[in-house]
């Protein structure tokens, strides 16, 4: 796998873009480590299940919470910027083939999703209005498309796309393609590998479950109002909690989310940040 590292393109890097990218990965890690811990605790207590917005509210309740969330807003905004750079300027050389376009589209959707989260966090600190409806970016997509397609058609289309995202996470985990983006010595990689596999697998499972819930919506032929209660992380956690041995499944997902958080923090430290030269 180390041989593939050299295949990445070498761009002249504006340093501030690399700093923004690393700040963004760190912010994502902070959100998921809080979320993972809350999910694990909810599995074995009466605590309610939460999502990424709930994780930010929890951070706000801590000492110096407003300052911490303010820093998180900067980090999330940096992550949105980096995702847009990846989507439009393709520094990782995904290309314009079917697979490359799919990856870049997923990066763009990721930017939209985290921009929603960043605006929500900013609204908590600066008392500005933010769309707090359930579904986040997914709900926004549905509301945008509802004038052209039925809710069932949109649900099926989103289910297919999100299933592809889940498969890409699993492929990245088990084929080890994540390794080509790390610039770390073997000692560090011995720790990064299991964390990456567990974290990416857990996040893939969450996406796969969201896809399944969208398929159920399609099969039920239920005409919900546009963008209403689109399946998200909170729905996934509730779904698993209702299954046999749901307590243990939920606890495992919590640990998986913590692993994904550690993977994000490892990216913040060791990821090879290839950026286009804007000069």
Indicate whether 7 pLDDT > 70: no
Indicate whether 211 pLDDT > 60: yes
Indicate whether 258 pLDDT > 90: yes
Task: State pLDDT tens for residues 41-79.
Answer: 988 876 666 788 889 999 988 888 899 999 999 999 999
pLDDT of residue 6: 46
For tokens 């990821």, the residue is 271
Cβ 200 vs Cβ 227: under 8 Å: no
In the chain, pLDDT over 70 holds for what percent of residues?
Answer: 80
pLDDT of residue 49: 67
Cβ 116 vs Cβ 131: under 8 Å: yes
Report which DSSP code applies to 180: G
Task: State pLDDT tens for residues 139-176.
Answer: 555 555 555 566 677 778 888 989 999 999 999 999 99
Give CB contacts under 8 A, 24+ apart, made by 147-153. Answer: 150/223, 151/217, 151/222, 151/223, 151/224, 151/226, 152/217, 152/218, 152/221, 152/223
CA distance 24 to 36: 18
Indicate whether 256 pLDDT > 90: yes
pLDDT confidence band for 207 (50 / 70 / 90): very high
Phi-psi region of 93 (alpha: psi -120 to 50; beta: other; left: phi over 0): left
pLDDT of residue 85: 94
**Residue of 148, 116, 144, 136 whose CA lies nearest to 210:** 136
For tokens 């996470």, the residue is 169
Q: Taking the mean position of all CA atoms in its chain, how far away is CA 109?
A: 10
Q: Exposed, middle or buried, 163 (CB in 10 Å: 0-12/13-18/19+)?
A: middle
Cβ 173 vs Cβ 204: under 8 Å: yes
Name the more confident of 16 and 25: 25
Confidence (pTM):
0.84
pLDDT of residue 9: 47
CA distance 180 to 93: 12
pLDDT of residue 201: 97
pLDDT confidence band for 29 (50 / 70 / 90): very high
């Amino acid at each position: 796998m180390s041989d593939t590292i050299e295949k990445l393109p070498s761009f002249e890097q504006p340093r501030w873009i690399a700093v923004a990218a690393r700040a963004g990965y760190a912010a994502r890690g902070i959100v998921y480590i809080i979320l993972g811990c809350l999910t694990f605790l909810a599995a074995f207590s009466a605590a309610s299940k939460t999502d990424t917005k709930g994780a930010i509210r929890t951070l706000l309740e801590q000492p110096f919470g407003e300052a911490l969330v303010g820093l998180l807003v900067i980090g999330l905004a940096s992550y949105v910027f980096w995702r847009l750079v990846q989507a439009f300027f393709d520094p990782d050389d995904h290309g314009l083939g079917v697979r490359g376009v799919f990856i870049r589209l997923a990066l763009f959707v990721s930017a939209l999703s985290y921009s929603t989260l960043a605006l929500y966090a900013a609204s908590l600190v600066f008392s500005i209005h933010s769309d707090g409806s359930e579904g986040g970016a997914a709900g926004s997509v549905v509301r945008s498309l509802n004038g052209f397609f039925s809710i069932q058609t949109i649900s099926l289309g989103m289910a297919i796309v999100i299933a592809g995202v889940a498969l890409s996470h699993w492929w990245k985990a088990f084929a080890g393609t994540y390794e080509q983006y790390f610039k770390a010595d073997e000692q560090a990689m011995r720790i990064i590998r299991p964390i990456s596999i567990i974290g990416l697998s857990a996040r893939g499972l969450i996406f796969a479950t969201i896809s399944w819930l969208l398929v159920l919506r399609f099969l039920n032929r239920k005409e919900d109002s546009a963008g209403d209660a689109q399946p998200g992380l909170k729905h996934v956690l509730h779904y698993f909690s209702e299954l046999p041995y749901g307590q243990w499944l939920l606890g495992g997902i919590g640990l998986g989310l913590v692993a994904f958080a550690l993977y994000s923090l490892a990216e913040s430290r060791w990821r090879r940040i290839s950026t286009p030269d804007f000069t």
